[in-house]
Amino acid sequence: NAGVTQTPKFRVLKTGQSMTLLCAQDMNHEYMYWYRQDPGMGLRLIHYSVGEGTTAKGEVPDGYNVSRLKKQNFLLGLESAAPSQTSVYFCASSPPREGSNTEAFFGQGTRLTVV
Amino acid sequence: GNSVTQMEGPVTLSEEAFLTINCTYTATGYPSLFWYVQYPGEGLQLLLKATKADDKGSNKGFEATYRKETTSFHLEKGSVQVSDSAVYFCALYGQNFVFGPGTRLSVLP
């Protein structure tokens, strides 16, 4: 009964370092999303995917890349971290918007600090 | 594009008080509407949802009605508890999930 699992839960990076955040879901959902949460700004969509092998830009994609090589996994990469990327990152998944049972399921979040 | 506006917080209430958190949206077509709740240190959890106009979503004493004519989905609870202290997010699902900025609720004993 894992749902959506994010790794790692916490990370501190130095400016210019790179890292990858992993999101895994076991609900066979087609859609997956990466959001960042900053104080007073709610959740902002970084990138999303509507199926294996597909990705699309969200509201704030600059400085991030993503890949969806397997349906159950959605990776978020930071090639050269900047202090402005200090945030809490949430992954979510959902079925397509058809029918009344659609909702987004969230992971527990990754708290990233860039110093 | 689609957007969600909700009342600014924080909101501080005494236990057993009535709660209203306003939410309005802008969207093309007919989105589904949601309220999510985030407890400290956790991810977002679905609280309730409504998928078409005039639908009422309800859960744990919370209610919200999908009002197409006023493009609103206000969250209400008749008697809040200390355990309801959390951040509440209004959201819509059109092409993507779009979230409001969140409203922090603190309930005092």
Chain A, residues 60-89, CB within 8 A of chain B, namely: none
Q: Which residue has the tokens 């104080």?
A: A39
The answer to whether A102 contacts B45, with C-beta atoms less than 8 Å apart, is no
Q: Which residue has the tokens 């969140």?
A: B102
For residue A99, pLDDT beyond 90: no
Average pLDDT over residues A37-62: 91
By Cβ distance, the residue of A33, A100, A109 closest to B43 is: A109
- Sort out which chain A residues have CB atoms less than 8 A from B93's CB and list them: 94, 97, 102, 104
Structure tokens at A46: 């970084």
Q: Following DSSP, what letter does each residue of B34-74 receive, concatenated?
A: EEEEE-TTS-EEEEEEE-STT-EEEETTEEEE-BTTTTB--
Pairing of strands A105-106, A87-94: antiparallel
Express each pLDDT in A9-34 by its tens digit.
999 999 999 999 999 999 999 999 99
For residue A100, pLDDT beyond 60: no
For residue A77, pLDDT beyond 90: yes
Whether B9 and chain A come into contact, CB under 8 Å, resolves to no
Ranges of chain B whose pLDDT falls below 50? none
- Which pLDDT belongs to residue A10? 95
Distance from CA of A21 to the nearest CA of B (A): 16
Q: What are phi and psi of A84, to 5 degrees?
A: -65, -10
* Residue A51, C-beta contacts closer than 8 angstroms, at least 6 positions apart: A30, A31, A68, A71
Q: Which residue has the tokens 């397997």?
A: A70
How far apart CA B76 and CA B65 sit, in angstroms, is: 9
Range with the poorest average pLDDT among A59-63, A86-90, A98-102, A104-108: A98-102
Percent of chain A with pLDDT over 70: 95
How far apart CA A8 and CA B15 sit, in angstroms, is: 37
- Sort out which chain B residues have CB atoms less than 8 A from A98's CB and list them: none
Q: What are phi and psi of B83, to 5 degrees?
A: -70, -10
Whether B26 and chain A come into contact, CB under 8 Å, resolves to no
Measured CA angle at B101 (ends A20, B6), to 5 deg: 155
- Which pLDDT belongs to residue B55? 94
CA A50 to chain CA centroid, nearest Å: 13
- Sort out which chain B residues have CB atoms less than 8 A from A35's CB and list them: 99
- Which pLDDT belongs to residue A96? 78
How far apart CA B77 and CA B107 sit, in angstroms, is: 12
For residue A6, pLDDT beyond 90: yes
Element (DSSP H or E) covering residue A90: strand A87-94
How would you classify residue B77: left for phi > 0, otherwise alpha for psi between -120 and 50, otherwise beta?
beta
Please give the residue of chain A at the shortest CA–CA distance from B31: A97
By Cβ distance, the residue of A35, A42, A103 closest to B46 is: A103
Whether B102 and chain A come into contact, CB under 8 Å, resolves to yes
Whether A42 and chain B come into contact, CB under 8 Å, resolves to yes
Range with the poorest average pLDDT among A9-23, A41-55, A78-92: A41-55
